[in-house]
Structure 1
Amino acid sequence: MESKQFNDAFLKACRGEKTNHVPLWFMRQAGRSQPEYRAIKEKYGLFEITHQPELSAYVTRLPVEQYNTDAAILYKDIMTPLPAIGVDVEIKSGIGPVISNPIRSVRDVEMLGEIDPESDIPYILETIRILTKEQLNVPLIGFAGAPFTLASYMIEGGPSKNYNKTKAFMYAEPKAWFALMDKLADTMIVYAESQVKAGARAIQIFDSWVGALNVHDYRTFIKPVMNRIFTSLQELKVPLIMFGVGASHLAKEWHDLPLDVVGLDWRLSISEAREMGLTKTLQGNLDPAILLAPWHVIEEKLKDILDQGMKSDHYIFNLGHGVFPEVQPDTLRKVSAFVHEYSASRP
């Protein structure tokens, strides 16, 4: 990549500092809708790609080059650190993560090991070093899965629509549940720290499925461990971001945590979040389905979201979830250009 001046607009917005334009990146911006990525996937699976640092770095930086985003997010999966602690996970096409040794008891939790990033996931750290030392002129976002979402896969044995086994385990086996939360918190803290030490400039925690819980259960079973994770990660002095899907009812709970950015899906508008008292930086939140609509529809939705977000410097544009495979790369290019130009023209 040709050397360019470092673009720190994303980092400034995370801190609530004024920027020349609204920074943006897209969740799942690397992959799926890109022809170059689909060609790679014909040869390699996800884990195979991440085990090849040069290839993984290419996949990570490709959308920055194609879409002119203000941040890159590391290409990997939230399952990446789990094999190191003894979870037998396989990413199956069309299904997702499938785990052959699901958690059923406190004994299963006690058998989980610890992660040593330098020996267990050196390929991830090398990918980060390649990107941040040689290839990117924007911040690299590292990430980790939150304990509830990881636990849901580990208990269900794979993806779930209702998380009945997970919630039943949480209610019926509180000792085992909290032991699992602590084990996963320890793992994610070490994992996130290693990414920052390798060069990541921000960390996003994905709690994709925690919206399945009500507020009371979140406060009881989840919030204490999330507070511990973010309190520990604050020592890294990088922006910390929280995101989940279908979790608008938890937005205020996230805002209470020691983090910098609250990510919103499309179910809660930026204005509604501000009216609820969220003063930290907000990230989001175009419904990715809108990217399949005609451009005039997309443009009107972009204007509406940007007008809401630009009432404060505490704003980063993103989607409310990940890019669909059906989305055309040219659409993402147009969205990026529009967000930059429209926000740069504000008074």
Structure 2
Amino acid sequence: MINTQKDSLFIRAAQSQPTERPPVWMMRQAGRFMKEYWEIKNKYSFLEMCKTPEIAADVTMLPVDLLDIDAAILFSDILVTGEAMGGDLSFNQGVGPKFANPVRTKADIDNLNVDCLGQLQYVADAIKVIQQRLNGKIPLIGFAGAPFTVMSYLVEGGSSKDFKLTKLMLHNEPEMAHQLLSKIAKVTTDYLNMQIAAGVNAVQVFDSWAMALSWDDYKEFSHRYISEIIAGLNRQDIPVISFCKGSSVFAPLMAEAKPDVISIDWNADLLDIKKRLPQGIAVQGNFDPHILYADKKVIKERIHRLFERMKGENGFIFNLGHGIMPDIPFDNVKYAVDVIKEYK
């Protein structure tokens, strides 16, 4: 299973090999902008979708079947590790994820379980079902949330605009913060290795809230643990993608963790970042998803502009600077993929 995809466009680009065109996949490509997603979502809760391998496979396959994308990404959520460790997780429409038992004291951290892979077996089961359905057509990307991002949800008890409680822990109780991050990092490493063993062809680490951190805090409380995770992966032939909102600033540091690919947000010039990265690190990105609301001629012009800018560069995967918004017209997303696939 592991080597079947090494000739695919996506894996070649991720390994900085030449490709006839940039491969395309999009963060949140199996999601709320598709009516087919809602047909499933209206029957099940979000966590039921994640935890039922057949349903997770159905959703994972939507962009494969409807968009003809160059890589599939496992349908799951970055917070399943926090739940497996003991977080009481729920998702409510319009509210987002909530942990009913936030982690705020040393006792709370001591109580978190790090030997919790058994709680995540449903993910390995889903990977096996998805790979049967993909049948070698394109690679499957597995993923996990980065320790700082998962920590922020556990400490805040849900989404946050200012990460006040999380930052208070970093600044007032750094030893506690490190104890918590270290536990999450261990679980994340084990979890990604479980996904690799189950058959994913690449993995991505999502540090969705890294941009909340200063440079020094990012280095101490995020980068350090991502480096630890990447060093602990069984990554032979498995490209590792590192993504964070804030990568346009943090990319030089992110490179020190030795990922194969760095996913860049839309605030930077992609070629400029690529030129400043060590040889052999690919870039993914960095199209502003808001452009997908625009007229088709604008979408095409902007994709071509990015491709002309990156012309002749090995190691470029087309993606968005962050995920697709739920109200972007499906037709526009499909059109963007077609424009990319026709590019010469």
For normalisation by structure 1, the TM-score amounts to: 0.93
CA distance in 2, matches of 1:44, 1:269: 41
Q: Is residue 85 from structure 1 mapped to residue 114 from structure 2 by the alignment?
A: no
1:105 corresponding residue in structure 2: 105
SS at match of 1:316: strand
> CA offsets, 1:184-228, max 9 Å, x none?
000000110111111101110000001111112222222222211
CA distance in 1, matches of 2:330, 2:6: 24
SS at match of 2:233: helix
What is the CA distance between 1:6 and its match in structure 2?
9.0
- Runs of 5+ consecutive residues of structure 2 not aligned to the other structure: none
What is the CA distance between 1:92 and its match in structure 2?
1.6
Going from structure 1 to structure 2, the CA distance change for 1:17 and 1:276 (only over 3 Å counts) comes to closer
CA distance in 2, matches of 1:122, 1:229: 20
2:206 corresponding residue in structure 1: 206
Q: Indicate if the aligned counterparts of 1:234 and 1:258 stay in contact, CA closer than 8 A.
A: no
SS at match of 2:341: helix
CA distance in 2, matches of 1:173, 1:323: 36
Mapping for residues 304-319 of structure 1, pairs under 5 Å: 304-319=305-320
Q: Indicate if the aligned counterparts of 1:248 and 1:265 stay in contact, CA closer than 8 A.
A: yes
What is the CA distance between 1:155 and its match in structure 2?
0.8
Going from structure 1 to structure 2, the CA distance change for 1:61 and 1:6 (only over 3 Å counts) comes to farther
2:291 corresponding residue in structure 1: 290
Q: Indicate if the aligned counterparts of 2:114 and 2:184 stay in contact, CA closer than 8 A.
A: no
After TM superposition, the structure 1 stretch with the greater mean CA deviation from structure 2, 322-331 or 257-266, is 322-331
Runs of 4+ in 1 over 4 A off after TM superposition: none
Going from structure 1 to structure 2, the CA distance change for 1:235 and 1:169 (only over 3 Å counts) comes to same
Matched to 1:133, the amino acid is Q
What is the CA distance between 1:157 and its match in structure 2?
0.9
Mapping for residues 276-287 of structure 1, pairs under 5 Å: 276-277=276-277, 279=279, 280-287=281-288
Q: Indicate if the aligned counterparts of 2:148 and 2:221 stay in contact, CA closer than 8 A.
A: no
Matched to 2:126, the amino acid is T
CA distance in 1, matches of 2:147, 2:277: 26
1:329 corresponding residue in structure 2: 330
2:175 corresponding residue in structure 1: 175
State the percentage of identical aligned residues. 36
Cα RMSD, aligned residues only? 1.8
Matched to 2:27, the amino acid is M
Matched to 2:165, the amino acid is K
After TM superposition, the structure 1 stretch with the greater mean CA deviation from structure 2, 166-175 or 326-335, is 326-335
- Runs of 5+ consecutive residues of structure 1 not aligned to the other structure: none
1:132 corresponding residue in structure 2: 131
2:68 corresponding residue in structure 1: 68
For normalisation by structure 2, the TM-score amounts to: 0.94
Mapping for residues 1-347 of structure 1, pairs under 5 Å: 8-117=8-117, 119-136=118-135, 137-233=137-233, 235-277=235-277, 279=279, 280-342=281-343, 345=344
SS at match of 1:31: coil
> CA offsets, 1:143-197, max 9 Å, x none?
0000000011111111011111111100111111110111000000011011111
Matched to 1:75, the amino acid is F
> CA offsets, 1:257-294, max 9 Å, x none?
11100001111121221343454100001111110000
CA distance in 2, matches of 1:268, 1:202: 25
What is the CA distance between 1:7 and its match in structure 2?
6.7
CA distance in 2, matches of 1:236, 1:105: 39
